[in-house]
Amino acid sequence: MSKMTNLTVKGQVTIPKDVRDALGLRAGEPVEIDWRGGEEAVIRKGSLGIEERKRRREAMRARIDSAAEKYRHLRTGQSTDDYMADFREPLP
């Protein structure tokens, strides 16, 4: 499969979506570029080390905890169905 894309003035290249999907690439994950010399380079999915995966997991947990604290006042102890039933009751 051969794809064409343009290089930006900042030296960035957009990897086409079908290629990203085929490689399983996601935003923020490492990408390895292997220069073969001359005019050829190979792009492959990079791998995260154990420490980097742990750091990212801890950062995600911190963001989740922060959001939970920010919206703590919205907790009612009701199930979603009960909350929605109360919310949809007609006004007297």
pLDDT digits (tens, 9 = 90+) for 32-58: 889 998 888 888 888 877 887 788 889
Overall pTM > 0.85: no
- List the one residue out of 43, 1, 9 whose CA is nearest residue 24: 43
Q: What pLDDT score was predicted for residue 91?
A: 61
pLDDT above 90 for 8:
yes
Tens-digit pLDDT profile for residues 9-40: 999 999 999 988 988 888 888 888 899 988 88
CB 34 within 8 A of CB 42: yes
pLDDT digits (tens, 9 = 90+) for 61-84: 999 999 888 888 777 787 888 878
